[in-house]
Structure 1
Amino acid sequence: MAGVLAGVFAMALVAGCQGGAASPGTSAAGTGAAAGGTPSSSSSSTTTSVPAELDVTPADRATGVRPDAPVKVRAVSGKLSTVRVTDPDGKAVEGKLAQGAWTSTARLRPSTAYTVTVSAEGEDGTPSTTTSSFTTLKPKVTATYGILYAGQTVGVGMPVSIQFDSAVTSKAMRAEVEKRVTVTTSPKQAGAWGWLDDRQLMWRPVTYWKPGTTVSVRAPLAGLQTGPDKWIANDDSAGFTVGSMMISTVDIKAHMMTVRRDGKVIKVIPVSTGRPGKLTETRSGTKVIIRKEGEVTMDSTTLGIPKGKPGYYKEVTQSNLRVTWTGEYLHSAPWSVASQGNANVSHGCVNMSPANAQWMFDASKVGDVVKFTGSNRPFLPTEGIGVWQYTYDGWKAQSALS
């Protein structure tokens, strides 16, 4: 694991004064020393105040402190009153006081300076305030992530999706991420987190969402490590709303698509899907509309068919609904109208007439479910939003905590 635990040994901070309380914000080494030399002569007795002796970790002015290193403050003598650890914006780090010691309960942010302010009382009740500071490490890579579809109205098949810009490289690191993310739904629905791959953490309900559900996501991930010398620096939260239940079924063998909204058939559309072949056959499985892309240029070079070779094509298409990252769309195909409802002639997409494609585009939203049956080529979960390719028990097994 990258990073060096620097400066996390204890440093004793002692505030001393003569004949009264220490001034707020002062600290000094030593115990019970007179501030002004020998006591003056007096007929009355002089009492020496003894402030609390403190042990603070990380040490004052420490640098390169790991974000997962706890801040600890302990009273060697006397007792703690308050402990406050703040960043440059004044935001406090959460912590708890127990058995005479304070320990942070939240992770720190990388590349951040922190100030520790401690109020305490000596054994004789002498109050004092002590401050120290430290700086967390600056990682080589700051990991970033996003909560997808924030603020949108989505279909019943859209999972909560937290996507990282790069891999969360170990199962242990993915488990730490998973422990800190939460989903709240109204109405309440059971569900589970799982990883599609090492970049995509998703939460899906047992079955499709109930229409009208509101979903809120919290991802307080700052201070987590996701790889060698790679740390997250931000927290995030978001949510979305679930719209109507629209589920379409594409029968590849029958060349027909049946569209249902809230369980009722609202349209049956003749289609032409992928012609038989290793690269062109449409995948069977339960897919989700990933994006509404409108106009898209289809290029056979993405299938390994270069210009000048048999089967090459480059075509501008309309009314595109993406259902896989590997290039499958539902779209307008005026050139294949004669085959729609009769034969499969596409390179893997669902071809429709311009009018039907425009209707489907207008009626759909991201997250709507499109089921494909009748092909020997399976849809792999990582080829799109593949959470519904798992049984619920199978999906729970994708958790890093399982």
Structure 2
Amino acid sequence: MDLVFRARRAVTPAGEQACDVGVTDGRIVAVEPPAAALTADRVIELGGDEVLLPGLVDTHVHVNDPGRSEWEGFESATRAAAAGGVTTIVDMPLNSLPPTVDRAALEVKRETAAGRVHVDVGFWGGAIPGNGRELAPLHEAGVFGFKCFLLHSGVDEFPPLGEEELEADLRRLRALGATMIVHAEDAGTIDHAPRPHGTHYRDFLRSRPRGAENLAIARVIELARRTGARVHILHLSSSDALPMIASARRDGVALTVETCPHYLSFTAEEIADGATQFKCCPPIRESENRELLWRGLAEGVIDCVVSDHSPCTPELKRFDAGDFGAAWGGIAGLQVGLPAVWTQARQRGFGLADVVRWMARRPAELTGMRRKGRIAVGADADFCVFAPDEAFVVDAAKLRHRNPVSAYHGRPLAGVVRGTWLRGREVTGERPRGGLLVRGSV
């Protein structure tokens, strides 16, 4: 074998255990008890305070490249991912120029990323008005599914689908065997809510009520039921929707759901006036809502936790005015997602095996990545060496994404990533060795 990891603690599909993990040609070829004493050209023995995790899979990342690379870029985003133990990301189709809504735009995206990524990168396609005929070619080209909005996306070049268009596209995707991933907030509800303005977070929260999410999710469920298509709800913020999600699944609707570290970490009550680094859509809600999201994870109603890394330049956050209405909505959390979730999870009695399920195994399964997200024979040798009991305070200036803006700045977190390995090679951030993924290739 090329490489063996000797770990007193490793999280495998069988749970947390001591084991030796053997690697040949970038794949895991053995997972054995320590008594097997596997040998290799190189042996890495983890410290007693370290745990071997599978590399995380983050299926909700806005790289914004090309076109808005001053917000982020493939090199900076994938360095941040690796620093946070993430070995696979799937890039969203919007905020780049052009958006990934046809095959030509996908090729531009791939050409931009080629040779510049430090972790493996896949791509989502986009579903917008008028591009229904582009969905099959994008699917054939290997995107992992299609994203749509039900309200203004924040950028004019990626408009929302109306209900008839959404149903038509769902029927197309049902025929292809593809998944629609949905930003589910109802435009009409938000149009009739108070307008976001000023420095008070409570005013912004009123502008994006839970009812907007609840109504949109109910409509998506009914369209998924009617068409038989697979649908995934993005960045669930409203815990009110959990009972209807659970009910739909009992009825056999092909529905999955994600939430994000910021919804599990922060609460509306703690967000100070003018702290626009916390603005995201849908918004961070109250503490009671946060606890119900954690219950949704515990009960399996929420499938996975992904970052929704949506960075921008500091100017777009409008720190000069602290105006929640004018600021760009998005949280840059790609690098700190693992310690953020672990900090909260351990306080609620969850273990690292739970975190791995939410942040590695389930995202891989939901995108059809059979070789990602687990420490098992045949899987890619993607690893995160994690020290769960070491604490640190987040310093935005030291994070690896492009702009030093983070809602986590100054926050103490538990868990430090000490090393990240992609297909058997340590990721140092110096030489890009990541690959561009095609659906079905992993």
TM range (shorter): under 0.3
Structure with the bigger percentage of strand: 1
For CA contacts below 8 A with separation 6 or more, give which structure has more relative contact order: 2
TM superposition score normalised by structure 1: 0.22
TM superposition score normalised by structure 2: 0.20
Q: Which entry has the higher C-alpha Rg, 1 or 2?
A: 1
